[in-house]
A = this chain, B = another copy of it.
Amino acid sequence: MRQAGRYLPEYRKLRGDRDILETCKDPSQVVEITMQPLRRMDLDAAIVFSDIMVPLAGVGVDVHIEPGRGPVVDTPVRAERDIERLRPLEPEQDVPETLEAIRLLREELSVPLIGFAGAPFTLASYLIEGGPSRTHERTKGLMHGDHMAWDALMRALVAIVVPHLRAQVEAGAQALQVFDSWVGALDRDDYRRRVQPHMSSLFSGLVDLGVPVIHFGVGTGELLGQMAITGGQVLGIDWRVPIDEAWDRVGHDRAVQGNLDPAVLGAPWEMVERKTLEILRRAGGRDGHIFNLGHGVLPDTPPDVLARLVDFVHAETERRPA
């Protein structure tokens, strides 16, 4: 689950009015926030508290996280010279606090720790639009309008994301998740031509690490086959596509993570149970199903329902034949 603990009252209390990116620079707070969900529920893994914009801030992008809106980039990427300013990440210098927090977490944790990063398309959308976008209009404008600049931007982002992910593993992360959250806005042809080559180079840069990589996006039903070819031992899916059909699209040599609609957690428990059982039924008890939400926990989600869900999935999957 994305956004380790952002929906928890103890997180809100701890962070107060501080910008998320500022909070990410305080290793002891990162450790505490990462641990918070684990104290409430019997989770099988932890994900380090961070934000996909952290490495961009690390190389000097003027980004902040606006409450209720999301990442805002004050000087969006619009021209060649904006792209040139995106220098490769030097993790120990640019994101030392995340790495320090990962080292500290490994001493405290009894479950595996997941590191993560945003994927180039999704990061590019924030950089180009200047904030969250429904249409990704300017992003597509650059992608279609200037292939040279687009490819330069994608390469610059790969040179930020790959060192960031590698450094997280070197610091102790035992798995990685790559969030290409908004890539589902593209058609398959654009994905293949303008995103896939860069994602392939990203995944190639991780192969020798020997850790599992989860490749995630929202609304990617039509792209799953391509995304699986591109990389990731695990494909993360949202709730729109039934998990058995998603599995057919990605291939049965991959694991699949998902796919409960986060909005269902606001419903009465009977509905949570019904939806969960349906996912487990469709997953058919196969090895390589990682039960999870199809996207991040919504801010108003009651933590008790999440904790109950974790226990319910454990009880149901222990009961089944492997």
Interface residues of A (CB under 8 A from B): 132, 134-137, 140-141, 144-145, 184, 186-189, 219, 221-222, 239-242, 245, 261-264, 266-268, 271, 278, 298, 300
Q: How far is the CA of A261 from the CA of B261 in the complex (A)?
A: 26
- Our pick among B132, B240, B268, B298 for the contact of A137 (Cβ within 8 Å) is B298
Q: How far is the CA of A245 from the CA of B240 in the complex (A)?
A: 17
CB nearest neighbor in B for A259: B187
Residues of chain B within 8 A (CB-CB) of A221 are 221-222, 240
Q: Are A268 and B140 in contact (CB under 8 A)?
A: no
- Our pick among B240, B278, B298, B300 for the contact of A184 (Cβ within 8 Å) is B240
Residues of chain B within 8 A (CB-CB) of A264 are 140, 144
Residues of chain B within 8 A (CB-CB) of A261 are 140, 187
Q: How far is the CA of A144 from the CA of B241 in the complex (A)?
A: 19
Q: How far is the CA of A141 from the CA of B188 in the complex (A)?
A: 32
- Our pick among B144, B188, B266 for the contact of A267 (Cβ within 8 Å) is B144
Residues of chain B within 8 A (CB-CB) of A222 are 221, 240-242, 245
Number of identical monomers bound together in the oligomeric complex: 2
Q: How far is the CB of A188 from chain B (nearest CB, A)?
A: 7
Q: Are A140 and B241 in contact (CB under 8 A)?
A: no
Q: Are A267 and B298 in contact (CB under 8 A)?
A: no
Q: A187-B261, A219-B219, A241-B222 are in contact. Are A145 and B268 (CB under 8 A)?
A: yes
Q: Are B219 and A240 in contact (CB under 8 A)?
A: yes
CB nearest neighbor in B for A143: B267
- Our pick among B184, B189, B245, B266 for the contact of A141 (Cβ within 8 Å) is B266
CB nearest neighbor in B for A189: B278
- Besides the contacts A140-B266, A145-B267, A187-B240, what 11 more A-B pairs have beta carbons closer than 8 Å? A132-B134, A134-B134, A136-B263, A137-B266, A137-B300, A140-B263, A144-B268, A145-B271, A187-B261, A222-B241, A222-B242
Q: How far is the CA of A267 from the CA of B239 in the complex (A)?
A: 32
CB nearest neighbor in B for A299: B137
